[in-house]
A and B are shown apart, each in its own frame.
Chain A
């Protein structure tokens, strides 16, 4: 799985320095979206684990991705588990 190798995440079309993929960071953001959407904590954790695994599988074939791609793919997988959380996850930058 992608966990073992370094994957560069290109931030904001290269305007900010790229950083290595951090599983924990993705997991935490998915948990936050699920809890904000009203999911109980245990359920949010298990959804986040499933989504993170799905994203890691996708990253196996993509050694360099943008943060936007990562969010889009994570959002797509999250939608199958919790559509409301996926909505918040994808829209959080379009609220203000």
Chain B
């Protein structure tokens, strides 16, 4: 697999990661509560910036940790069955996202463990300082691990085969692109858009986002399967 194809896979995986909504939900709630509690716009921005930074750091840590595990156990070239499992996982999670991602309730309630969701909702209401918002960002990424693990695994598998400098580029690309939606919401909030407009847009478009994320996961699974496994088996370079 050449460098361009590898980075394209990492980019698509990061876009899929960005389409998952738990962190965006927590950010929406955090800014809503912060503005509602009459905190200054500057304070709200500091809190939300802390949150986005936390989410970015945890994404970076998860990706590098999974890549380290692959490098440690398999070196720079993982066996075919690991690639096959990763592709299966992508397709499986893609189909699950189509069926399960949002709960049937009104709003944007997600299929994450309810205790986790309650904890995130309660803490986003109570958070007053940037350090806690940062830790909330870390936690919200862990909360959606069930969905983001598949794109992270495939990106890690792709990255460990690259030369070291390109691995760093790939990690940077993944982290930055996975923060696109959070960054956009942060920009909307800082430019004074109302939280209700953001939440309404999310609710109105939730089925599209769900379909897009599920489809992209499935497509990525098939693409990597063809690109890596079938190509290697058939012997085409």
Interface, chain A (partner B; CB < 8 A)? 31-33, 35-38, 41, 84-85, 87-88, 91-96
User: B38 contacts the other chain (Cβ, under 8 Å)?
Assistant: yes
Give the number of A-B contacts (CB < 8 Å): 69
Task: Give Cα A38 to B26, complex, Å.
Answer: 19
Task: Give Cα A92 to B35, complex, Å.
Answer: 14
* B107 A36 Cβ-Cβ under 8 A: no
Interface, chain B (partner A; CB < 8 A)? 22, 25-26, 28-29, 31-33, 35-38, 105-110, 112, 117, 120-121, 192-197, 199-200, 203
Residues of A within 8 A of B32 (CB): 36, 88, 92
* A94 B36 Cβ-Cβ under 8 A: no
Task: Give Cα A84 to B200, complex, Å.
Answer: 9
Which of B26, B36, B120 has a CB less than 8 Å from the CB of A36? Answer: B36
* B112 A96 Cβ-Cβ under 8 A: yes
Residues of A within 8 A of B196 (CB): 36-38, 84-85, 87-88
* A88 B110 Cβ-Cβ under 8 A: no
| 12 A-B residue pairings within 8 Å (CB atoms) | A35-B38, A36-B33, A84-B194, A87-B200, A88-B32, A91-B107, A94-B109, A95-B108, A95-B121, A96-B26, A96-B109, A96-B112
* B108 A36 Cβ-Cβ under 8 A: no
The SS class assigned to the A binding surface is helix
Q: Please, which residue of chain B has its CB at the minimum distance from the CB of A85?
A: B196
Residues of A within 8 A of B26 (CB): 96
B145 to chain A, nearest CB (A): 15
Assuming the A-B contacts A91-B106, A91-B107, A96-B112, are A32 and B36 also in contact, with contact meaning beta carbons closer than 8 angstroms in the complex? yes
A87 to chain B, nearest CB (A): 5
Task: Give Cα A32 to B195, complex, Å.
Answer: 12
Task: Give Cα A93 to B199, complex, Å.
Answer: 12
Task: Give Cα A19 to B142, complex, Å.
Answer: 36
* A95 B36 Cβ-Cβ under 8 A: no
Task: Give Cα A35 to B196, complex, Å.
Answer: 10
Cβ-closest 4 pairs across A and B: A94-B107, A32-B36, A38-B194, A84-B196
B26 to chain A, nearest CB (A): 6
Assuming the A-B contacts A87-B199, A91-B199, A95-B25, are A35 and B35 also in contact, with contact meaning beta carbons closer than 8 angstroms in the complex? yes
Residues of B within 8 A of A35 (CB): 35-36, 38
